[in-house]
Structure 1
Amino acid sequence: MEKRNQSAITEFLLLGFGDLHNFKILVFTLFLIVHIMALTANVLVIVLVGVTRSLHSPMYFFLSQLSLSELLFTSDIVPNMLWLILVGGGRVSVARCIAQFHILCIPSAAQCLLLAAMSFDRHIAICRPLHYATMMTVTRQLQVVTSCWLLGVILALFLYTFLRKLQFCDLNTIDHFYCDVAPLLQLSCSSTCTVELAVAMVTYPLLLSPFIFIIVTYICIIRTILKIPSSTGRHKAFSTCSSHLIIVCTYYGTLTFIYLFPPTDNSIELHKGLSVLYTLVTPLFNPLIYSLRNQEIRAAIFNYIQSFKKWKAEK
């Protein structure tokens, strides 16, 4: 990349969604409602799994960690996005911009690995049910979850050490609503070869390895399910996996397009739309899918509602 002989810049201009004209308040209100619903739904899942004895199983423990990653992820992006909608764009320091991407990487990486851990849990439960209790112990669950989060932190720090060395000169406009790696590389006036290599070393294995692992485990799961003689047993086994499969397809579909296919001038609006789906809708979509399709979670919610009504009536 050709170096620009201009003074270094210290802040970026985030364009956000541009001038929304008369739709600014409408879009802000809609996004705020979805964000509040996503926060509430994920907190509800975490609390329910923590306090409900019937939900103290590996599948729901991993689900609560998935909700935690969604909370961290959406809290890093959406508040600033809402502010950009109101003001029609805004400025952010270079250090804060890189820090935002660094924080974004941790729950994103952890979520990829947690989805793989959840598929492994379903594989053991369906393909090796007699060994499930001995293989998925509390200690093993904690080890898996700790590894997912620790690896997320390590990969984020790895990228951060390279990104913080980038230099920025005359160009400082980012046509997005958050700081992502692609625009940072485009705006840098220093050599980006090493950074691009580091990003590729992290992104491709992080996306492809868990996804391939999930595909392999579900091939084994489907083969085992098809051998179940009763249609009722097959339906029950499929139902325990369908919610996870829906989330995997939604998450990896948007994430793959965003990070494996960098935006061009003609596709920037499409990337923005997918980023809204990824940062705003998916954090709400995940807990709703599990809550609406899972009988045990619905039962736990109903029991607590009934208990609250009884307590309120007695009071």
Structure 2
Amino acid sequence: MANVSELRQDIVTGTWAVIATGRAKRPDDFKTKKRAVIENEKDCPFCHPGKDDKRKPTLVYKDLKGEWSLMAMPNKYPAFDSSTRLNRRENGPFSVVDGVGFHEVIITRNHNLSIAQMKTNQVLEIINAYQERYLGLMNRRFINYISIFHNHGREAGASVSHPHSQLVAMPVIDPDVWRSLNGSADYWQKNKRCVHCVMIEWEKESAERVIFENEEFIALCPFVSRAAFEVRVYPKFHASYFERINQINKTKLAEALRAALIKIDKGLSGPAYNFFLHTTPCDGKDYSHYHWHFEILPKTSIWAGFELGTGIEISTIEPEKAAEFLKQQKV
């Protein structure tokens, strides 16, 4: 079983953890040290992806000159590995599943151009790639959930500074999404309405926490923000399945996501941040009660004992003040 990642299930909470044995080999790898972020274009593996190994691109977009502008390919150090078998077993009282799945990187060409610095059409290309690779993997055997995320900056976990997103297709459902799905389903059963639609209507009416809005999308600092300057980008129309988004709405999403990132980048002087997509599982079940969205979390603080021990996050600024500040940042 060497170098095969495992999914281990907690018997108390029911949540899963990934034990990715191929990503850290020795205890010394975990010693506290400054993260080595590759800054030099000459040494950057994403400036010439796949050049020194046998990985084949899963997606390539080209510009008018015929040069690649975006490329998706398998992660060189995957948390999940493709396999034709999904081994389930018990280890004492615990359930263990092989880490079967797909782990890809989605790379844009310009080494120094963050998403906040891109034009809308360049962000649209990234959204197109998210959808295309999602559709390409959602029906693969054993795949029940696809996570799409982007780490920007050292503090956000980016080991390579070259802008790139990641896509992980896996056999289990993300615990955070699972809680969100359950909450959405409970609200739907009690009120026969989408909880996110209700929240969006309320936010639009008050306008206190809205930082950007176009015809189809809204970006806001949530009333219950988990972190300072947290922003979420929602479709204003009810939509459960990200992969079904049409071209017009993708353009509007690119505009809204870009605007939110520009405001965070300008207002907070280029902070590290993570953003990720929360959408429905691809396990064939009905999740029409859910409302997909993107969440953006700037790295403005570090979790300490209280947050780690309770799971309750402390935001050091009211979302109303955060939104007021971000509104002032020009796009």
Specify the TM-score bucket, using the shorter chain as the normaliser: under 0.3
- Which of structures 1 and 2 has the larger relative contact order (alpha carbons within 8 angstroms, sep 6+)? 1
| Alignment TM-score, normalising by the size of structure 2 | 0.21
